[in-house]
Amino acid sequence: MIRAATPDDVGAIADIERVVFESEAWSDSLVDLELVAPGRVVVVAEHEDAVVGYASAAVIADVADLTRIAVRWADRREGVGTALLAALLDSAAERGAERMMLEVADTNVPALAFYTVSGFAEIARRRDYYGRGVDAVVMELAPLTGRDRLEP
């Protein structure tokens, strides 16, 4: 089940952050700020009453920026990421976004494949954005309205 995140989810989201993003994980306080920041959409995926993944985006005017998406290792390849992304796209479109953008490391092959299959296209690169030799791939999905919902 996908639902809007609440303050009660901060601990579970931060736990997923630490496992998935390790040294680059958001702290509990940063997760808490993400939930209340203006224009933010944060959703969680639950399975058997446990948060197994989450995603967040910042919606400003006609653009939604995907800021995070993460799924517990044990729950990957089960459609959770696709369901989270679909919920973000729907919510962003409802708030007036016409396109969604994101950045991902060019070394993150699974994420690049996921976003490409989900309809995102590379529009730019930022050299050495994630450190020497690791570029950021800037991707965009447009338009958000009138799209068929992603299927998990």
**Residue 121: strand pairing partners:** 140
> What is the structure's pLDDT at 131?
87
Q: Dihedral of the CA atoms 19, 23, 28, 33 (nearest 10)?
A: -120
Other CB atoms closer than 10 Å to residue 75's CB: what's the count? 16
Helix (H, G, I), strand (E, B) or coil at 103: strand
pLDDT digits (tens, 9 = 90+) for 6-17: 999 999 999 999
Dist. CA 118–CA 62, nearest whole Å: 20
CA 9 to chain centre: 16
CA 88 to chain centre: 8
Residue range 50-67: mean pLDDT, rounded: 94
* Domains in the chain with CATH codes: 2-141 (3.40.630.30)
Residue 147 has pLDDT above 90, yes or no: no
Q: Which of the four pLDDT bands, split at 50, 70 and 90, describes residue 21?
A: confident
Say if CB 71 and CB 151 are below 8 A apart.
no
Quote the percentage of the chain above a pLDDT of 70: 95
CA distances from 92 to 23, 45, 98 (A): 29, 17, 8
